[in-house]
């Protein structure tokens, strides 16, 4: 199987690349390395993974990669993922997440790709809702440009399926965490907390810390992405745990994993951030039925694994 992973040098993408290589796929990566790291692909490069440096907003560059690689399957993970950036610069967010996705869809169509798997978002699309855990049929009410752009990109997947017969699926991720997530980045409170713990800092909590998220371990997520690539189901599918965890509970999990005593690693509280929802938890019934998948790693075990992968310098 010839696979192309956009954003393949990033946190999720590089974990996916490793799994695809391990099962014997021929893998190429398209990444502009703005947030991804070539070092994430060291093991994969030794197995002859081809890295193309390019921006998905550049239609010509994307087309050239597809013409060269002619992938059977496309895993589209490259994106603008910072909620704060999407609030401050919504047009920039849309150019990356909507126009960039269209460029990748066009590349897949021209190359005759069999399957297109899109990384979308659960909580950011649904927004505030009374239905928790939230199923895919819930009316979207994004609270920031990030969720809106991802939802719009999902609609283009459906368009390409209707117009061109391209088999597509959108996976609506919960809050992903695990090894290789940048502790200095926006997209991962667990990685940030683990980095702070190792460096002797304190965790910053925005709001009262009682807001909840559905935290999904990256290894479980990769299993779901590969299952979606092998399936022929379409539409949108939630990928999460169906379990709510508060920010304060995360701090307890990090403290426990690191063997800290009472009074250590106490939070500093700050004003709540615009565009963030109070509760987010995904109904994963469709993932079980359509993909035969469910999560295996609970938050405390996942935090332990994540903390073990962090170095003091990180």
Which residues are identified as catalytic? 146
Which pair of tokens denotes residue 60?
């010509």
Return the ∠ at Cα 237 (arms to 304 and 102), rounded to 5°. 105
* Length of the chain counted residue by residue: 314
- The DSSP H or E segment spanning 176 is strand 175-177
CB-based contact 83:144 (threshold 8 Å):
yes
Instruction: Tell me the DSSP string of 259-312.
Output: TPPTTSS--EEEPPPTT--S---B--HHHHHHH-------HHHHHHHHHHH--T
CA 137, CA 232: separation in Å to the nearest integer? Answer: 19
Provide the 3-class DSSP secondary structure of residue 60: helix
Find the largest Cα–Cα distance for the chain. Answer: 60
């Amino acid at each position: 199987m010839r696979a192309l992973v956009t954003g393949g040098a990033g946190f999720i993408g590089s974990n996916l690349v490793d799994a695809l290589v391990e099962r014997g796929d021929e893998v190429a990566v398209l990444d502009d390395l703005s947030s991804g790291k070539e070092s994430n692909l060291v093991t994969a490069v030794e197995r002859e993974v081809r890295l193309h440096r390019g921006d998905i907003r550049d239609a010509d560059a994307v087309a050239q990669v597809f013409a060269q690689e002619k992938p059977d399957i496309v895993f589209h993970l490259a994106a603008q993922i910072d909620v704060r950036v999407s609030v401050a610069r919504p047009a920039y967010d849309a150019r990356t997440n909507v126009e960039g996705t269209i460029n990748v869809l066009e590349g897949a169509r021209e190359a005759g790709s069999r399957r297109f798997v899109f990384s979308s978002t659960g909580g950011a699309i649904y927004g505030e809702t009374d239905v928790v855990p939230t199923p895919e049929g819930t009316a979207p009410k994004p609270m920031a440009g990030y969720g809106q752009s991802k939802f719009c990109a999902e609609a283009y997947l459906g368009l390409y399926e209707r117009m061109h017969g391209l088999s597509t699926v959108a996976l609506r991720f919960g809050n992903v965490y695990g090894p290789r997530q940048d502790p200095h980045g926006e997209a991962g409170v667990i990685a940030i907390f683990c980095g702070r713990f190792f460096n002797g800092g304190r965790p910053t909590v925005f709001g009262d810390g009682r807001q909840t998220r559905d935290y999904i371990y990256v290894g479980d997520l990769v299993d779901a992405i590969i299952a979606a690539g092998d399936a022929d189901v379409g539409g949108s599918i939630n990928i999460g745990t169906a379990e709510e965890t508060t920010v304060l509970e995360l701090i307890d999990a990090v403290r426990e994993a690191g063997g800290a005593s009472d009074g250590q690693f106490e939070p500093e509280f700050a004003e709540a951030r615009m565009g963030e929802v109070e509760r987010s938890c995904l109904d994963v019934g469709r993932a079980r039925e359509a993909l035969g998948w469910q999560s295996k790693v609970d938050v405390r075990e996942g935090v332990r694994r994540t903390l073990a992968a962090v170095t003091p310098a990180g």
